[in-house]
Amino acid sequence: MILNDGTIMRMVGEGFLISENFDASSLTPNGYDLRVDVIDIQGKQCTECEIKPMRHFLVSTIEILNMPEDTVGMIWTRSTFARKGIIGSFGAIDAGYHGNLTLSFFNAGIGLNLKRGERIAQIVFMKMNENAERPYHMRSGNYQHSRGLVREPQASNKDGDHNLPSQ
């Protein structure tokens, strides 16, 4: 079942789905538009930059997610950017995940100016039939509690705690 705007608002109020930096103007009837925080083009980071044609780039989100153990997120590039030739490659946001996201894009179109705060992708939240038996933090959890732009999985210690990048 896909969550509607009213359910998303209620769950956000309870500290789930988007636990930090929620912006009601980004709410859609059946999801939420994620906003650009930091952009990374070939290792160079900026908050406003030109994305040249035929370039891969990463974007971290302003929003911090807190996924319940019975909810998964699916992400799509917003049509505004898709029509300009921006292609996104995303996996599912697993039940139990907490942190911001680093999204991968490719500019197959013409040059594009991108800046912090722009709505670049939509996340749709779906309820599973029951809680995951092994939610994200009990599996690999490589990106659990991510903050900022993360290019590589975080190293774990033997207890499964993750070393967070400094900001």
Tokens standing for residue 72: 């998964």
Average pLDDT over residues 65-71: 96
pTM: 0.85
Share of the chain above pLDDT 70, in %: 82
Whether 69 contacts 100, CB under 8 Å: no
- Please report which confidence band the pLDDT of residue 154 belongs to, taking 50, 70 and 90 as the band edges: low
Partner residues linked to 71 by β-bridges? 127
Residue 146 has pLDDT above 90, yes or no: no
Domain 5-129: give its CATH architecture.
Distorted Sandwich (2.70)
